[in-house]
Structure 1
């Protein structure tokens, strides 16, 4: 049975953690003598990541743009596209491409084999920290969301998600087959990549704009969660097609049932868990009496999500929604923020570092075809999500444009589709490059466009109010 892979799949997690336990320090290398060097590489990578995050965020704020956009751009600058300060093997980089590895090799006089091993281990450690960052981000978003309000827009969010999957998937697949004469399976894979929505990026921007609890924000977040589930199912289907030429129906049914039971079950059981959680927190007398039980719950839910082949971030989000209903929510929210400030920037910067802008170079013949296909995919990617705003009904005064734009960014989710498609051999280089370009532009365009949409809506409301008063 073929299962969809989350951002960092459970196998990578298990392998990484197992390797970590083999060494006396936080490192993922088989040779104990290299463990301190791996830790040195991780620490130096974090220095570059945090510098990039802070500089990018501050510059973005000065330009009146969402700080998360600055973090993403800063990641591009320090990553594979420019300075090579932080690079990852899954992006096609090797040890010699990494400035961190060059510094470590100079300091420690390492052999080529040792450098390769250390580079792999250091990259895995940073990737795990980034994954922890997005888990905590979704836990924080769950805490900031209002479960009762989310339930009110649940059917609206479901419709938005279904439209946001069906329209770009159909338009992208059919367009590639009939306009570019692409083979069916690669076209379906590219169409599937168009269905993705990065809940991490969108929810962060909504939070920064103070719109997370607005009707639009609740619809977007709810739709993004459902979109993630649908995306996993679509990915399972196309992965089956790419490998065997046929769809594993049992796997698709399993994913639909497990996703539904997991989310609904966790929320329903949460009503009984809330009282126990508060009682435990009140009885504990040592430091962390509130935050540690909360993280135990969040990480356990994330573990369950991964264990049943959904995404860990869905479990973390569900945990946040459950604890949002407790009397300790405000206190817990304040305690989560400093931890999120430490780990979440690692996620956004590493998303940027994995973007390779060389695919935009028209001098390379393969890129030219990719750029033409990318133009088509970008149009479909943007329009296919913007139309979701007009799928909302029964909500007078809703900012439909903001809802549509909120669904646009593909982020790390889109990169996962491209990576799996490439690894399976389903995508040739031009089509892979086109998907990556689409992911890059939708990820970077969405934050400023979302800010613009909400700003325009506020100005219209103020003018209408002034007319009424006049």
Structure 2
């Protein structure tokens, strides 16, 4: 019998070590394949939407649905409940890896999914930085109180109606009803602001009110989420945490804008002294990422920090040049965010043939009505603005997007939500996300038609 020399690994150990060594290139291969899928879905969807005279962002969302968990399973995520066996890209990586087993490929699937998720987060951070650059801080300040009123109505109305309705009509227990009501308060600033930018209405009075309200709504949403999360864990609200969030959010946004006046001069001095490529965009991104980090560090959303950074740099003399340099970066990263949002939307919850979905569909119909009406009425909270398009403001607050999915995910993970209620929240998020972009276009188109009538009449009279 031949003895194996001491110090040499067994065959199984060699195989496991080889798999460990090969993990990095396989993760890279998975990320690259996923990005190919993302960009093809984004471009095809965007171009099709443009042909149909719809906002391209809607096409990116639909493209994400097609390649995601609802159809082709080319882009799936573990946090949405998908496993390595669900991904249609994994067999390609198994083949590249020399016939790796599903167990061996599972860590690669998890890691590449995390990388895509991080790229998507970077995408929305860049998007909000770009939106901040395109926003006018002076105009945003002018509509600040109007935006605050819109945001408060947009949180209180759907939360109260949704929670009360679930308890009274569907006899839902109090804590799950509160959680579902909280999911109705969210507004996806990323989706709305992108549509406004594409329609050319971002700097309009309506656009500034919507963006301002969505930012405040995001802060309020974080506070509401903290409240319901503590309710889910302990059955009682941590008042200290809620007060901390309110103070930190307010101090962060106001402090960032105030300090920005002093930072602008330093930023321009640094940019002028740098002589190599990227002398303007790199310092700007450093500032944006630092602000996003600080927001995240004090338990706020990173996108609030990026938006505040954009608002600050909007006041610099080189804003237009900076705008142009951010666009190609946004073109690379932002589609990853929108396609990922669409990919995570599981349309199987709409199938009435599944018994568990039927109750969810009935509850979803109720939540959808509350979700739309509860946000549309916010437009009529605007006062002292003659000729303002209140319908457009209300519709601009409707999409829940990834924010609503976060509520559903946390509720599901904590065990608060049963399957029908979780499915109902997901359906509500899907429909509000997809309905808002075309409805927003219609609302602004009607306004443009009305504005054109007096001008036409004036011409005919002359």
Using the alignment, how far apart are the partners of 2:253 and 2:306 within structure 1?
11
Does residue 272 of structure 2 align to residue 289 of structure 1? no
Distance (Å, rounded) in 2 between the aligned partners of 1:415 and 1:121: 21
Match among 349, 352, 371 for residue 342 of structure 2: 352
Aligned mate of 2:139, from 133, 146, 149: 149
Deviation (angstroms), 1:32: 4.1
SS at match of 2:89: helix
How far 1:118 sits from its partner (Å)? 0.5
Distance in 1 (CA, whole Å) between partners of 2:202 and 2:154 is 20
* Matches for 1:8-47 after TM superposition, within 5 Å: 31-47=20-36
Other-structure match for 2:43: 54
TM-score (norm 2): 0.95
CA distance in 2, matches of 1:389, 1:114: 53
Q: Give RMSD over aligned pairs.
A: 0.8
The aligned counterpart of 2:8 is none
Q: Which of 362, 370, 373 is the matching residue for 1:372?
A: 362
State the shift of 1:106 in Å: 2.3
Distance 2:337 2:153 in 1: 28
CA drift at 1:33: 2.9
- 1:233 aligned partner: 223
Match of 2:3 in 1: none
- 2:69, 2:344 within 8 Å by CA — same for their partners in 1? yes
Q: For residues 87-106 of structure 1, what are the structure 2 equivalents within 5 Å?
A: 87-106=76-95
Q: Deviations over 1:91-119 (max 9, x none)?
A: 11000111111211122211222211001
Instruction: Report the counterpart of residue 107 of structure 1 in structure 2.
Output: 96
Residue aligning to 2:244: 254
Spell out the pairing of 1:237-386 with structure 2 (5 A cutoff).
237-386=227-376
Is 1:211–2:201 an aligned residue pair?
yes
Deviations 1:160-185 (A, max 9, x none): 00000000000000000000000000
Q: 1 CA distance for matches of 2:349 and 2:91?
A: 25
Q: SS at the partner of 1:377?
A: helix
Distance (Å, rounded) in 2 between the aligned partners of 1:210 and 1:239: 38
Partner of residue 73, structure 1: 62
Aligned to 1:412: 402
CA distance in 2, matches of 1:389, 1:466: 28
Structure with max Cα Rg: 2
**Native 8 Å contact 2:85 2:102 kept in 1:** no
- Say yes or no: does 1:188 pair with 2:175: no
> Which residue of the partner structure matches residue 71 of structure 2?
82
Cα distance change, pair 116–310 in 1 and its aligned pair in 2 (3 A): same
Structure 1 gap ranges (5+): 1-29
Distance in 2 of aligned mates of 1:449 and 1:31: 50
For residues 122-137 of structure 1, the aligned pairs below 5 Å read 122-137=112-127
Could you tell me how far 1:468 is from its partner in structure 2?
4.3
Cα displacement string for residues 113-146 of structure 1 (whole angstroms, at most 9, x for unaligned residues): 2211001000000000000000000000000000
CA–CA distance in structure 1, aligned partners of residues 180 and 171 of structure 2 = 13
Q: Render the CA deviation track for 1:333-372: whole Å, top value 9, x for unaligned.
A: 0000000000000000000000000000001111000000
Matched, 1:464 2:454: yes
2:166–2:172 contact (8 Å) kept in structure 1: yes
Tell me the distance in 2 between the aligned counterparts of 1:466 and 1:357.
46
- Decide whether the 8 Å contact of 2:288 with 2:309 is kept in 1: yes
Partners of 1:263 and 1:32 lie apart in 2 by 45
Whether 1:402 aligns to 2:392 is: yes
Measured in 1, the distance between the counterparts of 2:21 and 2:158 equals 49
Question: Hey, what's the Cα distance between the residues in 2 that align with 1:226 and 1:420?
Answer: 21
